[in-house]
């Protein structure tokens, strides 16, 4: 796994090139973000000190793996009480994002028919530009071809490792998911993603994203985003990422529902749309028998 500096360079390069081939790398919680023995041997003592400093800075600034809610009531000032894709301050891409998921059942962080034979699990970081490319360029086709027809159920796992705004930003997704609108929220967020750790994903930005989701009760969203329940969900995602051996984003797992899922990412390269379609088609031929 590349050093923190190398990984950040890869992610920044991905933001300006298409399609971005390499996943954002990380290891989730602070404990597992420590440099590997191989990395230490390559980087040496100076690099080790730099990695430790970066890790400590992320942990201290985020207040822990789940972070703390940063959306205040004042962040809702000037916003509609109920989200709308067409209000004057709606975020770019909001109408299309809402239309993409309209009519598809959502159950928290699960999209689609929960009885669908094929399950797709997607680990993302809200600041990851490679995740943005997957969400914006590939996911709409997956939704239309597989999820809307009831062939596949999608489980969203908002992971975090890039920095403090990853930890707090994912709580906005989880807060929207409490109203079964997490997928719209995530899509609008990615459509308007800023440079990682630049301060773009503050409480006001998170709230404006929420206000662009049709039907989202903003006061309830603010409460849910800051709640212990949201942090518990985030902790569960971290635990699952550790269990599945996730080391970067996006990580896409595919298989039969309630069965063993296979990581379709190869050698650290983010899956393409074709990779995803082939994996889903292969699973469908097995899981429906």
Identify the pLDDT of residue 30: 34
Q: Mean pLDDT over residues 206-226, rounded?
A: 98
Q: Is the pLDDT of residue 21 over 80?
A: no
Q: Is the pLDDT of residue 51 over 80?
A: no
Identify the pLDDT of residue 33: 29
Identify the pLDDT of residue 55: 36
Q: Average pLDDT of the chain?
A: 82
Identify the pLDDT of residue 134: 96
Q: Mean pLDDT over residues 10-33, rounded?
A: 47
Identify the pLDDT of residue 34: 31
Higher pLDDT, 34 or 253: 253
Q: Return the structure tokens found at 204.
A: 């006001």
Domains recognised in the chain with CATH numbers: 73-287 (3.40.30.10)
Q: Mean pLDDT over residues 224-250, rounded?
A: 95
Quote the pTM value. Answer: 0.79
Higher pLDDT, 182 or 11: 182
For the stretch 125-154, pLDDT in tens is 999 999 999 999 999 999 999 999 999 999
Q: In this structure, are residues 208 and 91 in contact, taking their beta carbons and an 8 Å threshold?
A: yes
């Amino acid at each position: 796994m590349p050093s923190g500096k190398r990984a950040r360079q890869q992610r920044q390069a991905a933001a300006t090139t298409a399609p971005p081939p390499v996943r954002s790398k990380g290891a989730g919680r602070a404990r597992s973000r420590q440099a590997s023995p191989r990395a230490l041997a390559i980087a040496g003592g100076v690099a080790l000190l730099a990695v430790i400093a970066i890790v400590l800075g992320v942990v201290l600034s985020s207040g822990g793996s789940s972070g703390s809610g940063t959306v205040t009531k004042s962040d809702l000032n000037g916003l509609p009480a109920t989200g709308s894709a067409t209000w004057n301050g709606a975020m770019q891409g909001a109408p299309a994002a809402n239309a993409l998921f309209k009519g598809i059942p959502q159950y928290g962080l699960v999209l689609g028919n929960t009885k669908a034979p094929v399950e797709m699990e997607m680990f993302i970081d809200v600041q990851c530009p490679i995740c943005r490319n997957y969400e914006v360029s590939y996911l709409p086709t997956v939704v239309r071809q597989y999820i809307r027809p009831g062939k596949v159920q999608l489980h969203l796992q908002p992971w975090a490792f890039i920095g403090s705004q990853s930890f707090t930003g994912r709580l906005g997704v989880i807060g929207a998911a409490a109203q079964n609108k997490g997928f719209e929220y995530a899509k609008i967020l990615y459509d308007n993603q800023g440079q990682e750790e630049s301060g773009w994903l503050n409480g006001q930005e998170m709230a404006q994203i929420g206000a662009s989701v049709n039907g989202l009760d903003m006061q309830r969203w603010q409460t849910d985003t800051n709640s212990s329940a949201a942090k518990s969900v985030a902790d569960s995602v971290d635990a699952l990422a550790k269990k599945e051996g996730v080391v970067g984003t996006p990580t896409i797992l595919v298989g039969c529902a309630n069965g063993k899922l296979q990581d379709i990412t190869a050698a650290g390269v983010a899956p393409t749309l074709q990779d995803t379609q082939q994996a889903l088609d292969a699973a469908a031929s097995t899981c429906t028998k």
